[in-house]
Amino acid sequence: MYRDDLDRFKEFKAQAPLITFLPTLGRNIARPWKLIYYRAKKMFDVNNYKGRYSERDTKKLKMYQSLLGNDWKTIGEMVARSSLSVALKFSQISQRNRGAWSKSETQKLIKAVEEVILKKMSPQELEDVDSKLREGPESCLSIVREKLYKGISWVEVEAKVKSRNWMQCKSKWTEILTKRMTNGRCIYHGVNGLRAKVNLIERLYKINVEDTNEIDWEDLASAIGDVPPSYVQTKFSRLKATYVPFWQKKTFPEIIDYLYETTLPLLKEKLEKMMEKKGTEIQTPAAPKQVFLFRDIFYYEDDSEGEDVEKETAAHTCSSTTLRG
- Looking at the domain assignment, is residue 321 inside a domain? no
Residues 64 and 212 occupy one common structural domain: no
Who's near 260: CB < 8 A, 6+ residues apart?
A: 201, 202, 204, 205
Let me know whether 76 and 108 are in one domain: no
Is residue 205 over pLDDT 60?
A: yes
User: pLDDT tens digits for 23-62?
Assistant: 666 677 766 767 777 777 777 776 766 788 888 989 999 8
pLDDT at res. 108: 95
Parent domain of 291: 100-300
Per residue in 81-135, pLDDT tens?
A: 888 788 878 877 776 788 899 999 999 999 999 999 988 877 766 666 666 656 6
Give pLDDT, residue 286: 74
What is the pLDDT confidence band of residue 142, given thresholds at 50, 70 and 90?
confident
pLDDT of residue 14: 58
In this predicted structure, what is the pLDDT of residue 279? 62
* Burial profile 70-80: b = 16 or more Cβ within 10 angstroms, e = fewer: eebeebbebbe
Helix (H) or strand (E) holding 143: strand 140-144
Q: Are residues 175 and 291 in the same domain?
A: yes
pLDDT, averaged across the chain: 79
Q: What pLDDT sits at residue 138?
A: 47
Work out the pLDDT band at 69, boundaries 50, 70, 90.
confident
With contact defined as beta carbons under 8 Å apart, do 45 and 82 qualify?
yes
The answer to whether residues 59 and 111 belong to one domain is no
Q: Is the pLDDT higher at 122 or at 184?
A: 184
**305, part of any domain:** no
In Å, how far from its chain's centre is CA 227? 12
pLDDT digits (tens, 9 = 90+) for 10-21: 555 555 555 566
62 and 208 both lie in a single domain:
no
158 occurs within a structural domain:
yes
pLDDT at 43: 73
Q: Is residue 215 part of a domain?
A: yes
Sheet holding 140-144, edge to edge: 291-293, 140-144, 320-323
What average pLDDT does this structure show over 130-142? 61
Q: How confident is the model at residue 322 (pLDDT cuts 50, 70, 90)?
A: very low
Looking at residue 94, its pLDDT comes to 73
pLDDT tens track for 278-299: 566 667 777 778 888 888 899 8
Give the total number of structural domains in the chain.
2
Q: Which one of 77, 93, 109 terminates a domain?
A: 93
Residues 43 and 120 both lie in one domain: no
Q: How much is the pLDDT for 26?
A: 67
> Is 83 inside a domain boundary?
yes
Dihedral over Cα of 141, 142, 146, 148: its sign = positive
Q: Is the domain of 62 the same as that of 150?
A: no
Residue 313 has a pLDDT of 32
pLDDT average, residue stretch 134-161: 79
Who's near 213: CB < 8 A, 6+ residues apart? 31, 32, 35
* In the chain, % of residues over pLDDT 90: 29
**Is the domain of 55 the same as that of 114?**
no
In a domain, 33, yes or no: yes
Asked if residue 155 is part of any domain, the answer here is: yes
Q: Do 55 and 22 belong together in one domain?
A: yes
Kindly state whether residues 88 and 138 are assigned to the same domain. Answer: no
Same domain as 285, residue 147? yes
Q: Which residue has the higher pLDDT, 143 or 28?
A: 143
pLDDT of residue 239: 94
Other beta carbons within 10 Å of 35: 14
Q: Is residue 225 part of a domain?
A: yes
